[in-house]
């Protein structure tokens, strides 16, 4: 009888603890959209988060930074991945729906200029040469139109569409325009651009560093001449030491204040800035230095 009573007590205690654990377990769903550049980071973080929180479904999609902000401002998503800071008009659109952004940097990226692996005449380029090729109304048709030392072969251009933050950043920094470039190029998602450049000997394209990292066997990264006259290749080291300029930049996630009131979203963002921080380099990006990471964590806590 004594043994029976003890077993019943232990069983009840165990069931109570299990019920308590089930009650504490996070549940729900999180919708993320936006930047193709930030997608590999958010996808990796989402996969690891769901391993530890099986009751939460995290869906990560890509429609470009601008396209993502349109959905986010309507309340259709909880977090927007962004490869540039939010614009004033995007803030105003969100405010109409009572949505307030939290700007949280998560990594550094290096916009990478790529050519075909068989290209044997380009090792480096200046910003002036890039501008001459990509500026609105450009008359450049062949490599020789850019540099007399290059062959008179037609250039085939590949780049992100106008809804991408990478396009915004490139046109602002390199072309010194507001979302304007030549339009006669093949635009698409980054994997499409990789395939295009890899399949055409006379191709030139640009996109986020991680997509180059994944395809180094198919592509050749072009060194960019910085303001000191140094030809610098994109890498973790050159982004960290500040020599790969001006094509290195911060990338962000933007949860809404309202979404952060939900425990599953708050837990995901905290996870992103803790364990997720260690995944940044694994997917081809540059980790934030500790002082900036600390600021990001404080922002997430509402400080």
**Residue 216 belongs to a domain with what CATH number?**
3.40.190.10
Q: For the chain, what is the largest distance between any 2 Cα atoms, rounded to a whole number of angstroms?
A: 98
pTM across the whole model: 0.83
Average pLDDT over residues 168-178: 95
- What is the distance of C-alpha 73 from the center of its chain? 19
In total, the chain counts a number of residues equal to: 303
Quick check: 10 pLDDT over 60?
Answer: no
Q: Which of 191, 214, 241 is the last residue of a domain?
A: 241
Res 178: pLDDT: 87
Alpha carbon distance 36, 12 (integer Å): 50
Structural domain of residue 190, as residue ranges? 109-241
Cβ within 8 Å of residue 63, ≥6 positions away: 33, 34, 71, 163
In whole numbers, what is the pLDDT of the chain averaged over residues? 91
Work out the pLDDT band at 24, boundaries 50, 70, 90.
low
Same domain membership, residue 39 and residue 71:
yes
Nearest to 101 by CA among 112, 109, 89, 114: 89
Res 303: pLDDT: 66
Count of CA atoms in the C-beta half-sphere (13 A) of 34:
32
pLDDT tens digits, residue range 235-251?
999 999 999 999 999 99
1 within domain boundaries: no
Residue 150 and residue 121 in contact, taking contact as beta carbons nearer than 8 Å: yes
Res 142: pLDDT: 98
Average pLDDT over residues 46-54: 97
11 within domain boundaries: no
Same domain membership, residue 213 and residue 271:
no
Percent of the chain with pLDDT over 70: 92
Average pLDDT over residues 19-32: 73
Work out the pLDDT band at 302, boundaries 50, 70, 90.
confident
Q: Which of 213, 241, 269 is the last residue of a domain?
A: 241
15 within domain boundaries: no
Quick check: 9 pLDDT over 80?
Answer: no
Top-confidence residue, 23 or 166: 166
pLDDT tens digits, residue range 81-122?
999 999 999 999 999 999 999 999 999 999 999 999 999 999
Task: Quote the number of domains for the chain.
Answer: 2
Same domain membership, residue 125 and residue 229:
yes
Top-confidence residue, 208 or 302: 208
Tokens of 185: 């190029």
3 within domain boundaries: no
């Amino acid at each position: 009888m004594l043994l029976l009573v003890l077993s019943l007590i232990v069983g009840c205690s165990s069931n109570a603890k299990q019920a308590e654990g089930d009650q504490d377990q996070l549940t729900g769903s999180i919708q993320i959209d936006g930047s193709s550049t930030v997608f590999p980071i958010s996808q990796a973080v989402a996969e690891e988060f769901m391993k530890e929180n099986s009751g939460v479904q995290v869906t990560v999609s890509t429609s470009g930074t601008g396209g993502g902000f349109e959905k986010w401002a309507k309340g259709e998503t909880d977090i927007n991945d962004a490869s540039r800071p939010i614009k004033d008009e995007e803030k105003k659109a969100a405010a109409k729906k009572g949505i307030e952004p939290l700007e949280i940097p998560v990594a550094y990226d290096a916009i990478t200029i790529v050519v075909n692996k068989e290209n044997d005449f380009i090792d480096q380029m200046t910003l002036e040469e890039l501008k001459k090729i990509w500026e609105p109304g450009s008359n450049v048709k062949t490599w020789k139109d850019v540099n007399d030392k290059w062959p008179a072969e037609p250039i085939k251009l590949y780049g992100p569409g106008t809804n991408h933050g990478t396009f915004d950043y490139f046109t602002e920094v390199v072309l010194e325009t507001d979302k304007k470039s030549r339009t006669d190029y093949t635009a698409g998602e980054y994997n499409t651009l990789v395939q295009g450049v890899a399949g055409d000997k006379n191709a030139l394209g640009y996109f986020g560093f991680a997509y180059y990292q994944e395809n180094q066997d198919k592509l050749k990264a072009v060194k960019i001449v910085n303001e000191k006259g140094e030809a610098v290749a994109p890498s973790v080291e050159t982004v960290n030491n500040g020599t790969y300029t001006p094509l290195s930049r911060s990338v962000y996630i933007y949860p809404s204040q309202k979404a952060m009131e939900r425990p599953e979203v708050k837990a995901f963002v905290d996870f992103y800035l803790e364990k997720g921080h260690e995944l940044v380099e694994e997917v081809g990006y540059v980790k934030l230095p500790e002082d900036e990471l600390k600021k990001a964590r404080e922002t997430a806590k509402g400080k």
